[in-house]
Amino acid sequence: MSNTEMGNNSIMDYELRKYESRTRKSFELFNQAKESTPFGVHSNYRYIDPYPMYGTRAKRSRIWDVDGNEYLDFNMGFGALLVGHSHPVLVEAIEDRVRDGSLLGLEFEDSDKLARVMKERFQLDMIRFSTTGMEATMHAIRFARAATGRNKIVKFEGCYHGSQDHLLVSVKPQLDKSGDARHPNAVPASKGTPTDTLRNTIVAPFNDLEAVETLVRENQNDFAGIILEPIPMNMGFIMPESGFLQGLRSICDEYNAVLIFDEVKTCGKYYGGATERFGVEPDLKVMGKAIAGGFPLSAVGGRRKIMEQIVPGIVAHAGTFNSNPISITAGLVSLTKILTRDAFSGVSKLNRKLASAYSQIVEDNHLEANVCSDGVSGVLSFSSKPILNWRDFQKSDVGKWSLYYLMMLNRGIIPAGTGPDEQWTISVQHTEEDVDRHIETFKEVAPMLKEFDVQMPIVEAI
């Protein structure tokens, strides 16, 4: 049945009924889990309407839900699984490691091996490991404040740096609260954020160097540093305009402040991360997600002068699970044996194929949409023009994206993360056939998206 025959709401209804009939066990589990767990999920990002799918197992590029449905996975653990699911080399190494102890309470002998691998690959003088991206960004801004003796951190509207108070500001702010586009308000992304914290977070528009300069000038006496996703990947996939990153570098140099690249996502999108991609060197880098092949490991690294401040009793950095043997082993195996330069070049080639097919399908079907892609990831945004910042992203058509996502799921493809703010990721275990199937499925779905026009607001779902 065509879209016009079915009408706007009925096509969404039809796909929702299809989803419900395929995922009855997920529905049952959701109702059960809701009793003990708010919204039935342990991370708000995992919730989707009308209820989330629950998974059982995954292998290579595939994942299975509790109803036995098989999906080709292009979410890949929100970008953490560039190695693909259960890579055999990683599985073997982790099985061996578990037998020899998973947590020693001593520093693990291989931690320094991984530190050296990462220092060289990501151009760092020194490095400290922790477990989640959130902890690592929290530490990075602490180090910047300690190094400068100042408090205020500039962050960008629409960027996400984990669920910590200081940076959980203007992540997905609604327009009516956001104020002037070039001088945005600091909008808390969660109830419970202390107002004092908000005072020290300056919100700037991405890709607008002049606006950043003005904001920094206004706060220069207490300006400690700038943190950013060099490619914002929590409002789709936004490339920095030429000169933007270099301009931020110059501002930090001028005010003797600390430039922090949050590379939690980008460190797994290019062999040497965003620094290698753009040739701009920050003072600190935060890394996570893909570095340990799906095991929890994060890191902050950078200039010796800043990192050397970490001294017991002076600048704090601690964690029970920091550099645990499982995560360190996973990091060493992933970075040295799986995520090699050659592997990146193969995956990037597949990514280019997927992105150019998406662009062609968008054009063939006259969809008002943009495809942005680089490295091993990309995004489809239903927007009339390329997206440069949060305000542009906010104007994109969330209703159409939600239908696209649902239709792809119903046809066995998880096309990206769980919202239009997320992107697709291709892993080293995806094959050309996987990409071809993704393309064929989008070809089938695209004509039905054209007429669909139900506006939905972007919800603050953190």
Query: Among all residues, which ones are annotated catalytic?
Result: 160, 262, 289
Q: Which is nearer to ligand PLP, 225 or 439 (CB)?
A: 225
How many residues bind ligand PLP, per CB under 6 A?
A: 14
In angstroms, the CA 146 to CA 317 distance is 12
Peptide bond into 386 cis (omega under 30): no
Q: Is position 169 an interface residue for ligand PLP (rule: CB under 6 A)?
A: no
User: What would you report as the CA-atom Rg of the chain, rounded to the nearest whole angstrom?
Assistant: 22
Shortest reach from residue 79's CB to ligand PLP, in Å: 7
Q: Which is nearer to ligand PLP, 78 or 108 (CB)?
A: 78
Q: Which is nearer to ligand PLP, 75 or 394 (CB)?
A: 75
Q: Is position 133 an interface residue for ligand PLP (rule: CB under 6 A)?
A: yes
Residues written for the chain: 462
Q: Is position 160 an interface residue for ligand PLP (rule: CB under 6 A)?
A: yes
Shortest reach from residue 316's CB to ligand PLP, in Å: 18
DSSP string, 131-196: SSHHHHHHHHHHHHHHHHT--EEEEETT----S-GGG-BSSS--HHHHEETTEE---BSSTT--HH
Count of CB atoms situated within 10 Å of the CB of 459: 11
The SS3 assignment for 189 reads: coil
Q: Is position 264 an interface residue for ligand PLP (rule: CB under 6 A)?
A: yes
Q: Is position 134 an interface residue for ligand PLP (rule: CB under 6 A)?
A: yes
Binding-site member from 65, 157, 208, 262 for ligand PLP (CB under 6 A): 262
Q: Is position 132 an interface residue for ligand PLP (rule: CB under 6 A)?
A: yes
Q: Is position 323 an interface residue for ligand PLP (rule: CB under 6 A)?
A: no
Q: Is position 425 an interface residue for ligand PLP (rule: CB under 6 A)?
A: no
In angstroms, the CA 169 to CA 189 distance is 5
Residues 6+ apart with CB under 8 A from 284: 140, 143, 144, 258, 259, 260, 261, 300, 301, 302, 303, 306
**Within positions 346 to 405, which residues make up the interface with ligand PLP, using CB under 6 A?**
none
Distances (CA, A) of 72 to 16, 61, 177, 334, 439: 20, 6, 39, 22, 12
82 phi/psi in degrees, rounded to 5 = -65, -25
Q: Is position 75 an interface residue for ligand PLP (rule: CB under 6 A)?
A: no
Q: Which is nearer to ligand PLP, 134 or 258 (CB)?
A: 134
Residue number with the shortest CB distance to ligand PLP? 133
In angstroms, the CA 181 to CA 38 distance is 34
Neighbour-count burial of 76, counting CB atoms closer than 10 A to its CB (0-12 exposed, 13-18 middle, 19+ buried)? buried
Q: Nearest 5°: CA angle at 106, between 104 and 112?
A: 105
Q: Is position 288 an interface residue for ligand PLP (rule: CB under 6 A)?
A: yes
Q: Is position 265 an interface residue for ligand PLP (rule: CB under 6 A)?
A: yes
Q: Is position 166 an interface residue for ligand PLP (rule: CB under 6 A)?
A: no
Q: Is position 23 an interface residue for ligand PLP (rule: CB under 6 A)?
A: no
Shortest reach from residue 455's CB to ligand PLP, in Å: 27
Peptide bond into 50 cis (omega under 30): yes
Q: Is position 331 an interface residue for ligand PLP (rule: CB under 6 A)?
A: no
In angstroms, the CA 248 to CA 239 distance is 15
Q: Which is nearer to ligand PLP, 90 or 141 (CB)?
A: 141
Residue range at the interface with ligand PLP (CB under 6 A); choices 4-12, 127-135, 269-277, 308-316: 127-135
Q: Is position 161 an interface residue for ligand PLP (rule: CB under 6 A)?
A: yes
**Helix-helix angle 8-22:24-36, to 10 degrees:** 80
Element (H, E) at 58: strand 55-59
Q: Which is nearer to ligand PLP, 40 or 230 (CB)?
A: 230
Shortest reach from residue 163's CB to ligand PLP, in Å: 7
Q: Is position 206 an interface residue for ligand PLP (rule: CB under 6 A)?
A: no
Q: Is position 234 an interface residue for ligand PLP (rule: CB under 6 A)?
A: yes
Interacting residue ranges for ligand PLP, rule: CB under 6 A? 78, 132-134, 137, 160-162, 229, 234, 262, 264-265, 288
